[in-house]
Amino acid sequence: MYFPHIQEAPVCSIRIQIRARELILVWVESSIRIFLAVIFFLAAGLATSSALAKWFSLQETPEGFRNAIRFAPWNAEYYAGMARALERPLKPQNLIEVIHHYEKAVQLGPRDAAYWSRLGNAYEWAGREPDAQHAYARALSLSPGSPAVNWVAANFYLREGAPDRALELLRKTILLDPDLRRPAFDLAWRAIQDGELIAGEMIPSRPDVHFEYLRYLVETGRIDEATAAWNRAVERGYPLDPKTAFPYMDALIQFHRTNALKDAWSAMTGSDPSLMETGKNDSNLLVNGGFEGEILNGGMDWRMDSVQGAAITMDRAAPFERTRSLEIKFDGSQNPADALVYEYVPVEPNTSYSFSGYMRGLDITTNSGPRFEICDADVPARLFIQTEGVLGSSSWTMRQLNFRTGPETQLLMLRVTRPASGKFARRISGTVWVDQLELHVDEKSFLNAGERNE
Amino acid sequence: MSKGKAPCLGIFLLLAVSVGAKPTPIGTVTSCTAATIHGTSLVPGSTIFSGDAIDVGPGGSAWIAAPGGAQVRVFENSAVSFTSNENSIEVIVTRGVARTNSANIVIRTLPSVAGLPPRSAPAVYSQRKDCAVSKSAKRSTPCHDDSD
């Protein structure tokens, strides 16, 4: 028996199922295609608008940023850029718009400290100090390690009359950015003018910062504060190298602070054994009088300026005593009139001194030979004496000067010099050697003066 | 109190007040290039106080914002100093050119400067790239390093 409907029924059902599956597949495929197309167009649109916005923003004009915001209203940077563009030149009528754009920028980018910092600025210009303080505080909380944010906030607190908070932030700024150290020192002095407060609250206990601050004080002529800073460095045991110390010592010389100069020199040489003069006669007031140590070219050691026509070196061939002497070789091309080497020597007023030094010459020409010269470092008219010059060739010969300082003389300048010659054959050639220079208090005259006083 | 002591006391008090007086803030540097303040590089964000003097070198400029939206621009090759009183800010131009957008800021040019033509100062404000705390900036840049 044949029952066709019984066999065809499942076949039909299977066909329907297959057809349905095909339709679903086609639908899914189409949907995916449409979805991808939409995504593609959206992405393309987004990329295009972002590119256009970027392009407009590069104009850096209010109009450019306005267009940038139109194409990319979600980008906080364009609002901040718009506000910045309106700031220069800021017209008073634009201040509200500037604030609005910074507010929008912090709304879209609430974690950007720079936007908050600039918003604080704008609030301050508008006289909204509490809002400004909140904005600066937010910037600091978001970016406590940013030197720029600390710097701007420190300035705000100075303007607001809160120096303690300002100095605390400047201290952080100084540690975070070495480039801002000098501006911070200057700002603090312009605003506060209290050396003790600035040193205590703003200058961190770090030798590099401390000595940079000392240099700033020296360069701005704040000699009392510089001395206080130097003394703190000594107390804290910071390394006192000549490079740091010499500008300070030069300032002490300039400001006639002879005692502080002596203290600074002692502290510097005491802190570095390599600077200690070996074998020095304690009563000799001159530093490195035998030229056995390297010439430091500063402080209370010898100083040399480059003099045309004269070459200054250390000679080990035939010193007067110990191992070295100073050799000055004149090449015959010049008629120098400057000090060849010189040294500052602190002395007591109204005191008698005895100077001695040795010179040797070889083929020295002209009528004006090298010599020793001693003068008051501040006012040469108060004291000026010199030995005879070395001429021709001679063996080691002692030159002596005995003198008494006046009531105002506290610092001498000892020079090995060669005054310019006025003669026809005035160019100097030949070589001179210098050694064993000593300056002592003249005990005999000191005792005589004491006896007279008694 | 004797007649002689009264003026002396007055002068002493006046000196004491002037020595102890805190400088008045005048404004903030919003942007600067090749500028110094008392010989130190000027940095965006710096506060300008009464008595401060700014020097702007060749190719430089400095913008100072004062409260209320007032601004002063100091042009290249210029030197100015700032003073303030109760009602206004005074900018004394000792060299070059300075301009302001506010009636509350008085710009006075020294007679010796006024007689000279301004040295290559542009007549209009230019839009300059910001050198202060920008989004990308990690730190303020001293003005002498400012490249814009």
Domain assignment of residue A284, yes or no: no
Chain B residue with Cα closest to A98? B69
Backbone angles phi, psi at A341, to 5 degrees: -140, 150
Q: What share of chain B is helix, strand, coil (3-state, %, to 5)?
A: 20, 40, 45
Mean pLDDT for chain A overall: 90
Q: In sequence order, which residues have a C-beta less than 8 Å from that of residue A3 and are 6 or more positions away?
A: none
Closest CA of chain B from A160, distance in Å: 9
Q: Please tell me the distance from the alpha carbon of residue A408 to that of residue A376, in angstroms, as a whole number.
A: 9
Rounded (10°) angle between helices A113-125 and A147-159:
20
Residues of B in contact with A92 (CB under 8 A): 68-70, 101-102
Given the structure tokens 């349905």, which residue do they identify? Answer: A20
Residue that the structure tokens 């002529």 belong to:
A221
Residue A369, in any domain of the structure: yes
List the CATH number of the domain containing A108: 1.25.40.10
Check pLDDT > 70 for residue B132: no
Q: For residues B128 and A104, which has the higher predicted lDDT (pLDDT)?
A: A104
pTM: 0.80
Per the structure block, which two tokens stand in for A41?
């167009």
Residue A426 parent element (H or E): none
DSSP per residue, B51-73: T-EEEEEEEEEEEEEEGGGEEEE
Which DSSP helix (H) or strand (E) runs through A226?
A: helix A223-235
Q: Which two tokens stand for residue A355?
A: 């100077």
Residue located via tokens 């590119």: A51
- Extract the tokens encoding A275: 């600077």
Q: Does A126 contact B at CB distance below 8 Å? A: yes
For every residue of B104-119, DSSP letters joined together read: TEEEEE-HHHHTSPPS
The sign of the torsion formed by the CA atoms of A250, A256, A257, A262 equals positive
* Closest Cβ–Cβ partner in B38, B128, B142 for A88: B128
If we measure between CA atoms, which residue out of B99, B116, B69 comes closest to residue A98? B69
Phi, psi dihedrals of residue A190, rounded to the nearest 5°: -65, -35
The C-alpha atoms of residue B136 and residue A114 are separated, in whole angstroms, by 9
B41/A183 touch (CB, cutoff 8 Å), yes or no: yes
Task: Tell me, yes or no, whether A70 lies in a domain.
Answer: yes
Q: Please report whether residue A247 resides in a domain.
A: no
Q: Is A195 on the interface with B (CB under 8 A)?
A: no
**CA-based end-to-end distance of chain B:** 64
Return d(Cα B35, Cα B40) in angstroms, integer: 9
| Low-confidence spans in chain A with pLDDT less than 50 | 450, 452-454
Mean pLDDT of B45-55: 96
Q: What span, in angstroms and rounded, lies between the C-alpha atoms of A181 and A165?
A: 17
Query: Chain B partners of A80 at a C-beta cutoff of 8 Å?
Result: 135
Q: Do A187 and B46 touch (CB under 8 A)?
A: yes
| A128 interfacial to chain B (CB closer than 8 Å) | no
C-alpha A311/C-alpha A433 separation (Å) is 12
Q: Which residue has the higher pLDDT, B133 or A83?
A: A83
C-alpha–C-alpha distance, residues A380 and A287, integer Å? 21
Contact between A137 and A165 (Cβ < 8 Å): no
| Whether A148 and B140 lie within 8 Å, measured CB to CB | yes
Higher pLDDT: A397 or B7? It is A397
Residues facing A430 on adjacent strands: A330
Distance between CA atoms of A286 and A416, rounded to whole angstroms? Answer: 13
Tens-place pLDDT, residues B76-111 = 999 999 999 877 899 999 999 999 988 889 999 987
The domain that contains A427 carries what CATH number? Answer: 2.60.120.260
Paired with A434 in beta bridges are A326, A359
Distance of CA A337 to the CA centre of its chain: 35
B47 vs A contacts (CB less than 8 Å):
155, 158-159, 187, 190-191
Between residues B68 and A385, the one the model is more confident about: A385
Query: Which of A95, A117, A143 corresponds to the end of one domain?
Result: A143
Local structure of A212: helix, strand or coil:
helix
Q: Given A93, A118, A143, which residue is the final one in a domain? A: A143
Strand segments, DSSP code E, in A347-441 are 352-364, 371-376, 384-386, 392-404, 411-417, 429-441
Whether A115 contacts A102, CB under 8 Å: yes
Q: What is the mean pLDDT of chain B?
A: 73
> Which domain covers residue A100, as residue numbers?
1-143
Q: What is the pLDDT of residue B145?
A: 35
CA distance B146 to A186: 19
Distance from CA of A420 to the nearest CA of B (A): 38
Number of Cβ atoms within 10 Å of the Cβ of B117: 7
Count of H helices and E strands in chain B? 2, 9
pLDDT tens-digit series, residues A90-124: 888 889 999 999 999 999 999 999 999 999 999 99
Is A447 among the domain residues?
yes
* Closest Cβ opposite residue A114 in set B68, B69, B134: B134
Instruction: Between B20 and A244, name the one with better pLDDT.
Output: A244
Q: Would the CB atoms of A151 and B43 count as touching at under 8 Å?
A: yes
Q: Are A171 and A205 in contact (CB under 8 A)?
A: no
Instruction: From chain A, pick out residues whose CB is under 8 angstroms from the CB of B127.
Output: 60-61, 85, 88
Q: Residue A405: helix, strand or coil by DSSP?
A: coil
- Residue A265, domain member (yes or no): no
Selection from B50, B108, B97 nearest residue B74 by Cα: B97
Give the per-residue pLDDT at A1.
54
Which of these three, A113, A143, A173, is where a domain ends? A143
Take residue A424 and report the two structure tokens written for it.
Answer: 């026809």
